[in-house]
Amino acid sequence: MMLPPKKKPAHRGEPKVTLKTIAQHLGLTPGTVSAALNNSAAARSIPQHTKNRIIEAAKTLNYRPNFFARTLRLKRTYTIGVIAEEIGDAYGSMVISGIEEYLRKNNYFFLTVIHRHDPKLLQTYAQMLLTRGVEGFITTDTSITEKIALPTVAVAGHQPVDGVTNIILDHTRAARLALEHLRDLGHEEIAFIRGQTMSSDSTVRWSAICEVAQEVGIRIRPELTIQLEGFDSTPGIGYTFCKQLLARKHPFTALFAYNDIAAIGSIWAIREAGLRVPEDVSIVGFDDIAGAAYANPGLTTVRQPLVKMGQIAAQTVVDLIEGRGEYVPEIAIEPEFVVRQSTGPATVRQLRSVKAASPHLQTGYLAK
């Protein structure tokens, strides 16, 4: 009978580096080291040069904090619940990238759930995250209607809800940047692609466009306006609805799309119709997603600092959890306007073409 081979003793490796190890190395107390590395309220009284020494020693000694021990000791999870409409879309992924960057640097975890604008799923997932001990919420492109018991920050939230901080873009400023750009290029017959009704930004952005258009003397024509529908988050959605717009046979020299995805899809629909961008039709998008600069041609667009908005959301919710910040109902973000190759001047040939197709139009440039 053969006996089983004896088990080799487990390799123990180097001794584990603890808070006490770092404290002894620096001649400090474990409490001081813990406060500095956890960036707790007690860390405010620690001189910055001492914090720097502690952080550098932790890196040098390859300190790895025991998350579970920390959680049990402090009765905290250091976890944020992130509620998003979709995780793979260009808008949401950039916001979540900013959230992840800030939380990682501040030793927080996050759990993400996707609701796809299903109210029942949204409620279920919110409760699920609560049972998993999250300490706060961040939502993206999600319409919150009820107060949540934990600190909550909404990116692109527009409905005022007590206890929820809304991080919003100045849409009036954004609309003015885009429409004045097109007006100054001589465009009057401008087509518009509106956002889906379930998108949090859709209503407020369209209201801002209508308000600014009236101020700058641009007429919004129903026959040159179409609304996106469905959940497609690829350029295919812009392609489909721009084709419908073109099929109406009402000529236009510029198009302002709800977002960059719709704008990029529209470029392909316009080219398929035998037109050129921007020689025949100028295109303006919204968001300045990562692919906007690499569209063909490069997309002129309203830039939302999406990564920065995610970082601000994460910092705001962590500050509320840690007691470092006070609740504010709204944080406004300023847009920028990025001019690339998809827009150009309305040429005399364009304007004559529009006039020939629609002789009843006798406004502005068309009357000259």
Every domain of the chain and the residues it spans? 19-73, 74-168+307-334, 171-304+337-367
How many CA atoms, within 13 angstroms, populate the side-chain half-sphere of residue 318? 24
Q: What's the average pLDDT block by block, 10 residues per block, for the chain (368 residues)?
A: 47 71 91 82 85 89 70 75 83 92 92 81 82 89 77 86 91 97 96 92 94 96 95 92 95 96 97 95 96 95 95 95 89 96 81 50 36
74-168+307-334 to CATH, choices 3.40.50.2300, 3.30.310.50, 1.10.3720.10, 3.30.930.10: 3.40.50.2300
Q: What does the pLDDT read at residue 86?
A: 78
The strand pair at 136-140 and 79-84 is best described as parallel
* Token output for 235: 């350029």
State the DSSP code for 223. Answer: G
Q: How far is CA 100 from the centre of its chain?
A: 12
- Which residues in the chain belong to E strands, given as ranges? 79-84, 109-114, 136-140, 152-155, 164-169, 190-194, 225-227, 254-257, 282-287, 300-303, 330-333, 336-338
Same fold: 74-168+307-334 with 171-304+337-367: yes
Q: For domain 171-304+337-367, is the CATH number 3.40.30.10?
A: no
Q: What does the pLDDT read at residue 82?
A: 93
Is the sign of the CA dihedral 95, 96, 102, 108 positive or negative? positive
Q: How far is CA 26 from the centre of its chain?
A: 42
Q: What does the pLDDT read at residue 365?
A: 34
